[in-house]
Amino acid sequence: MEQQKVAEHIRISLEAVLNREVGELTPDTRLFEDLALDSTSVLELLMSLEDTIGLEIDPEELDADVFRSFGSLSDYVTAQMQKTAA
């Protein structure tokens, strides 16, 4: 799956988890500071991504840097999708 499609899935999942529109997201949009994501919503976001794109994510393997920004999360999910497809 290409990164643009991954980014769109993440945006849709973020809106579902946060119960609001998130507007335009840039790679530098900070998930915690700008979007007010918290630890509970991170888990909900991961579950939503697993459901929508079929990605298996082990929360134990995640580094906090993955959730630093929209761009870092998009990069991580894209890389995981490429590993799964290989």
Average pLDDT over every residue of 53-76: 87
Q: What is the largest CA-CA distance in the chain?
A: 35
DSSP letter for each residue of 34-63: TT---HHHHHHHHHHHHHHH-----GGG--
45 in Cβ contact with 14 (< 8 Å): yes
Residue-wise pLDDT tens digits, 31-47? 999 999 998 999 899 99
Query: Residue 35 corresponds to which amino acid?
Result: L
pLDDT at 31: 96
